[in-house]
Amino acid sequence: MDNKPITHPSLKITGAKLSAMTQATAYKIIRVQKMRKYAKRRCTMETIEKVCERAEEIHGKTLNEAKIWKGTRHRDLARTTRYFLWMTMHDAYMVGDKWLRPSFTAEFQERSECRHCRKTETMEHILTECEAPGQSEIWALARELWEKRTGQELNEITVADILESPAIKEDTDDKKLKEKRSWENRFYRILITESAHLIWKIRCERVIRNEGELTTTNEVRSKWLAAVNLRLELDRKMTNPKYKKKALNKSLVLSTWKGVLKNEQDLPDDWIREDGVLVGMDIGE
């Protein structure tokens, strides 16, 4: 009797044992297989190229694709804001010329235009150009708060600035300056991304829910202040030790919001557990 082992390729067992497989491992394997067929979208690559060029032009920083995508997942960003950045990076929102497909009726194709400005409603238009109450007022408030906290002027904002903001990091070897850069980088990414996301939400509310009815200037300002204070509240809560590794450093949170709080002179140095701590801005009536 021939006792030689069976070596035919079709009878050779490959792969992982199900008894040793975890859900995380299975997901990684499936992900790798799917990514082999993945082709990068042209509009996504064009957006990434613009972001890299803008980072070099304004900040003198060299960004690559990996850093930009990592920035959109930064822990300083709220989950809904991360999704907004991801969709914007992919140019995936249904705006502008996406409504001009031949298969769409004339009624749908009209949605390609901003009702207020009568211009093609690109994301650049929505976030930085539209004359309807929203983007202009919000960026003015963001500039005011940035100058109040840092004493610096904020450059004119583009979509590329918004997308690069989580990835931009000012480094230094000086220990004192390094601490300043830490909270400054954080404040910048929070301020820019939260402001941009709010502009988008106000636009959607105007176009979809309110059927073109404009939000008043005072409403826009109140919404922005509420959004900033919500982030402040989230920061305060996330310093709780119960979150363990996910907990925020209390000193970093204190530094991030120092100088922009309402009646700050009456607050203790450690105001993390104090009730009613708010950003102080005169938004008018």
Ordered alpha helix ranges (H), 79-134: 79-89, 106-109, 123-124
Q: What is the pLDDT of residue 68?
A: 94
The torsion angles phi and psi of 113, rounded to 5 degrees, stand at -100, 145
Q: How far apart are CA 18 and CA 28, in angstroms?
A: 15
pLDDT score of 285 = 41
**Residue ranges in the chain whose pLDDT is less than 50:** 284-285
Amino acid symbol at 96: G
Q: Which two tokens stand for residue 63?
A: 């960004």
pTM listed for this prediction: 0.84
- The pLDDT assigned to 281 comes to 79
**Helix 175-204 crosses helix 79-89 at what angle (to 10 degrees)?**
80
Neighbours of 175 (CB within 10 A): 7
Report pLDDT for 173: 56
- Give me the pLDDT at residue 181, please: 78
d(CA 87, CA 67): 17
